[in-house]
């Protein structure tokens, strides 16, 4: 099987990416261009070196070709890779394990144009010592993690979908992991920080 053009081109550019959106897809030929257009628009506005990793979950349509075509026309590094294991979580783990970014992002909706400040805030929180930041209510959740922490957590328990909130169990492997969760609903706003220490 040939290596997708986007993966060949982006292997060199991936070294300079600080933040990478991991986007697992399956049979997304019809909507992946729109998803990538929305995602790359807000990544360009972010002000940090950012890219997108599209993880194809065994599509039988032209998803890979659609991503290749989009990637050739954007300023944001877009790479595509395959995942032979089944499930959204396996694709997320594949994206994390192949990323060279410091931070990885998962979102329930790639159109986050009105949430640039929140993502910028998440990056600043991570730079200040947190390992995980979860923003927004269910349905619009944005989870940003240090790549190494994401790999550790996903190796133990795969997330179900893009709206996940990592579960930090009370085990030695997770000692010292810091998570900030900022969410809101119509009724209340939640601001909590969970710190596990040795």
Distance of CA 34 to the CA centre of its chain: 17
Neighbours of 181 (CB within 10 A): 18
- Residue 198's CB is within 10 A of a number of other CB atoms, namely 5
Please tell me what DSSP assigns to residue 3.
Answer: P
Question: Does residue 96 carry a pLDDT above 90?
Answer: yes
- Provide the pLDDT confidence category of residue 181 given band limits of 50, 70 and 90: confident
Cα first-last separation, the chain: 47
Q: Which residues contact 12 (CB under 8 A, 6 or more apart)?
A: none
Strands (DSSP E) found in 26-101: 50-56, 78-82
Instruction: Among 45-49, 62-66, 118-122, 192-196, name the one with the lowest average pLDDT.
Output: 192-196
Confidence check: pLDDT of 147 > 50: yes
């Amino acid at each position: 099987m040939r290596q997708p053009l986007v993966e060949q081109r982006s292997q060199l550019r991936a070294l300079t990416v600080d933040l990478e959106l991991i986007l697992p897809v399956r049979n997304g030929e019809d909507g992946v261009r729109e998803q990538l257009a929305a995602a790359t628009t807000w990544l360009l506005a972010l002000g940090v070196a950012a890219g997108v990793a599209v993880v194809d979950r065994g599509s039988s349509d032209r998803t890979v070709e659609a991503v290749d075509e989009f990637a050739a026309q954007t300023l944001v590094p877009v790479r595509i890779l395959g995942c032979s294991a089944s499930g959204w979580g396996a694709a997320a783990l594949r994206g994390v394990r192949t990323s060279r970014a410091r931070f990885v992002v998962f979102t329930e909706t790639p159109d986050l144009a009105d949430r640039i400040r929140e993502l910028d805030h998440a990056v600043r929180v991570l730079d200040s010592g947190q390992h995980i930041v979860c923003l927004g209510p269910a349905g619009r959740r944005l989870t940003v993690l240090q790549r190494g922490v994401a790999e550790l957590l996903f190796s133990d328990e795969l997330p179900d979908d893009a709206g996940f909130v990592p579960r930090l169990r009370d085990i030695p492997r997770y000692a010292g992991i810091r998570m900030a969760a900022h969410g809101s609903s119509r009724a209340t706003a939640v601001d909590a920080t969970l710190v596990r220490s040795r």
